[in-house]
Chain A
Amino acid sequence: MAIRKWALLAAPLLALAATPAKAQDGVIRIGVTLRMVVENGLKYGQMVKDEFEAVNAAGGINGHKIEIQLLDDECKPDKGVSNVNRFIHQTQVDLIIGSTCSSVSMPMVDIVTKEEIPLVIPQSTNQDLTKKGSPWVYRVPVSERFYAAVHAKWLAENVGKKVAYLVTTDTAGIGFAKQYQVYMKKTYSVDPVIEVQAQETDLDFRAALLKIKSMNPDVLAIGGQADAIARVSQQSYEVGIPSRVRRVAASAASNAPVPELGGDSVKGLIYAAAFNCNDERPEAKAFVKLTQTKYGVRCPDHDFSQAYDTVKIVTQALKTANLKLTAGSHAADRMAIRDAMANVKDFHGLASGPISFCAAPTPQCRDGNRTGILVEYTKGGKDYDTKLLARVTFDADFGL
Chain B
Amino acid sequence: MHPVLPWLGGIAVLSFLPLITRTAYDQYLLNVIAINVVLAVGLNIVKGFAGQVTVGHVAVMAIGAYASAVFSVHLGLPFWLALPAAMAVCAGVGLLVGIPALRLEGAYLALATLGLAESVRIVISGTEWLGAAMGFEGIPPPHIGGFVMETHFRYYFVVMPIAVMGIYISFAILRSDMGRAFKAIREDQLAAAASGVHVAKFKLIAFVLSALYAGCAGSLKAHMAPGYLNPNDYSLQEMVTLLLMVIFGGIGHIWGAVIGAIAVTIINDLTQDYYTYRMAIFGGVIVLTVMYMPRGIGGMIEDFWVRKRFAALRAATKARQAAP
Q: Which residues of A contact B (CB under 8 A)?
A: 1, 4-5, 8-9, 12-13, 15-16, 19, 21, 36-37, 42, 69-72, 75-78, 81-83, 85-86, 88-90, 102-103, 106-107, 110-111, 114, 126, 128, 169-171, 173-175, 197, 199-200
Contact = CB atoms under 8 A, between A and B. Distances in A.
Given A86-B25, A89-B23, A110 B233 contact: no
Interface in B214-241: 225-228, 230, 232-233
Nearest to B125: A169
30 contacts: A8-B292, A9-B297, A12-B263, A12-B266, A12-B270, A16-B266, A21-B22, A37-B279, A42-B276, A71-B272, A72-B275, A76-B233, A77-B228, A78-B233, A82-B269, A85-B28, A85-B152, A89-B24, A89-B25, A89-B152, A103-B134, A103-B135, A103-B230, A106-B135, A106-B137, A114-B226, A169-B133, A171-B133, A171-B134, A173-B133
Contacts of B230: 76-78, 103, 106-107
A15 B228 CA distance: 30
Interface in B96-153: 122, 125-126, 132-135, 137, 152
Nearest to B235: A76
Which 7 A-B pairs have CB atoms at the shortest separation, nearest pair first?
Answer: A72-B275, A89-B25, A169-B125, A107-B228, A89-B24, A90-B25, A110-B226
Contacts of B152: 85, 89
A110 B228 contact: yes
A83 B230 CA distance: 16
Contacts, number: 118
B273 interface: yes
B292 A5 contact: yes
A100 to B, nearest CB: 13
A390 to B, nearest CB: 28
Nearest to A70: B275
Given A16-B266, A16-B269, A199-B122, 13 more contacts: A1-B292, A4-B292, A12-B266, A21-B23, A72-B272, A77-B230, A78-B230, A85-B24, A89-B23, A89-B25, A90-B23, A174-B133, A175-B134
Dominant SS among interface residues on chain A: helix
A86 B272 contact: yes
Count class of interface residues, chain B: 35 or more
A111 B133 contact: no
A71 B273 contact: yes
Interface of B: 22-26, 28, 32, 122, 125-126, 132-135, 137, 152, 225-228, 230, 232-233, 259, 263, 266-267, 269-270, 272-273, 275-276, 278-279, 288-289, 292-293, 297, 300
A332 B22 CA distance: 23
A110 B135 CA distance: 13
B266 A71 contact: no
B118 to A, nearest CB: 8
A126 B28 CA distance: 28
A219 B64 CA distance: 41
Contacts of A71: 272-273, 275
A37 B132 contact: no
A89 B31 CA distance: 15
Contact of B126 (A82, A110, A169, A175): A169
Nearest to A199: B122
Nearest to A110: B226
Contacts of A107: 135, 137, 226, 228, 230
Contact of A197 (B126, B259, B273): B126
A169 B124 CA distance: 10
A238 to B, nearest CB: 25
Given A8-B288, A169-B126, A13 B228 contact: no
B22 to A, nearest CB: 5
A175 B132 CA distance: 11
Nearest to B151: A114
